[in-house]
Homo-oligomer: A and B are copies of this chain.
Amino acid sequence: MADTKPSNPNPKTLPKVLLLEPPPIYLHYESQFSLHFNFLKHYNSPLSLPEFLAEVNANDVSAILATTLGPPITASTVLDHLPSLRCIVTSSIGVDFIDLDECRRRNITVANAADVFSADCADSAVALLIDVCRKVSNGDRFVRSGNWSVSADFPLGHQLGRLNIGIVGLGSIGSRVAKRLAAFNCSISYTSRKQKPSVPYSFYPDVYELAENSNVLVLCCPLTDETRHMISKEVLLALGKGVIINVSRGSVVDEKELVRFLLEDHIAGVGLDVFENEPSVPKELFALDNVVLSPHIAASTDEAFHDLYEHVKANLQAFFSNKPLHSPIV
Contacts and interface: CB of A to CB of B under 8 A. Distances in A.
B139 A136 contact: no
A90 interface: no
Interface string A124-150: 101110110011110111111010110
Interface residues of A, number: 53
A159 B303 contact: yes
Interface stretch (A15-23, A215-223, A290-298): A290-298
Nearest to A136: B127
A305 interface: yes
Nearest to A185: B119
A156 B119 contact: no
B154 A295 contact: yes
A180 interface: yes
Nearest to A147: B295
Contacts of A304: 159
B179 A120 contact: no
A160 B122 CA distance: 11
A300 B139 CA distance: 12
Interface stretch (A6-14, A206-214, A229-237, A279-287): A279-287
A165 to B, nearest CB: 14
Nearest to A273: B139
B295 A139 contact: yes
Contacts of A137: 131, 136-137, 140-141
Contacts of A128: 136
Nearest to A301: B159
A139 B162 CA distance: 27
A126 B130 contact: yes
A297 B154 contact: yes
User: Which of A152, A183, A300 neighbours the largest number of chain B CB atoms within 10 Å of its CB?
Assistant: A183
A29 to B, nearest CB: 13
A135 B297 contact: yes
A142 to B, nearest CB: 6
Contacts of A71: none
A131 B123 contact: no
Interface string A251-293: 0000000000000000000000000001111000010000011
B297 A134 contact: yes
Q: Which of A124, A146, A301 has the most CB of B within 10 A?
A: A301
A184 interface: yes
A182 interface: yes
Contacts of A139: 293-295, 297
A303 B148 contact: no
A302 B157 contact: yes
B124 A127 contact: no
Given A157-B301, A158-B302, A159-B302, A134 B140 contact: no
A258 to B, nearest CB: 15
Given A131-B131, A143-B295, A157-B301, 14 more contacts: A119-B159, A119-B161, A119-B184, A120-B134, A123-B130, A124-B134, A126-B130, A127-B131, A131-B137, A143-B293, A144-B293, A148-B281, A156-B300, A157-B297
